[in-house]
Amino acid sequence: MQLTQQMVQLAEEGSQNPLIPPGPELVIGLVTFAIVFFVLAKKLLPNINKVLEERRSAIEGGIEEAEAMKVEAQSVLEQYKAQLAEARHEAARLRQEAQEQGATLIAEMRAEGQRQREEIVAAGHAQIDADRKAASSALRQDVGKLATELAGKLVGESLEDHARQSRVIDRFLDELEEKAEAAR
């Protein structure tokens, strides 16, 4: 309440409005404002506009550069994808070739193994035939000697005539072989 009374008192003392300054102060204020406005408009505002224009140019240049880099990066990515696809295709081709070579090598090794097995079997048969002939020949000689000695003991005289002895032994052994084959 005191504040209101003081304001009323001031208003009654002077009829002047406290919001409107006196004339000389108003002129000085307007001149000072005009000087400050003129200095700001002529010196500071062009510098501010220049800095803002430089920033705008830099930003636009950066955006253009970023777009160019993005296009270049996209191009590099496409090249990389193409190279990767080509490398995968080449790897698949090499893998296929290796499988084919492996299959060919296995087939060659099997054929070589089969050939060696056949050679070994043939050599074994030849060896068996040779051993059989050698055993047959040795057996004929031993059987012949034993038969001649036995026949000589039975007859009581020596049967040393080799030609006759060989014929008798061969005929005897041939008869034995025929009987053995007939029994099979």
Confidence at residue 105, expressed as pLDDT on a 0 to 100 scale: 92
79 pLDDT band, cuts 50/70/90, is very high
Confidence at residue 9, expressed as pLDDT on a 0 to 100 scale: 64
Q: Which is more confident, 93 or 146?
A: 93
Confidence at residue 171, expressed as pLDDT on a 0 to 100 scale: 77
Q: How many residues does the chain have?
A: 184
Percent of the chain with pLDDT over 90: 39
Sequence spans of domains, the chain: 22-183
Confidence at residue 122, expressed as pLDDT on a 0 to 100 scale: 92
Going by C-alpha positions, the residue among 179, 180, 175, 173 that lies closest to residue 147 is 173
Per-residue 3-state assignment (H helix, E strand, C coil) for the chain: CHHHHHHHHHHHHCCCCCCCCCHHHHHHHHHHHHHHHHHHHHHHHHHHHHHHHHHHHHHHHHHHHHHHHHHHHHHHHHHHHHHHHHHHHHHHHHHHHHHHHHHHHHHHHHHHHHHHHHHHHHHHHHHHHHHHHHHHHHHHHHHHHHHHHHHHHHHCCCCCCHHHHHHHHHHHHHHHHHHHHHHC
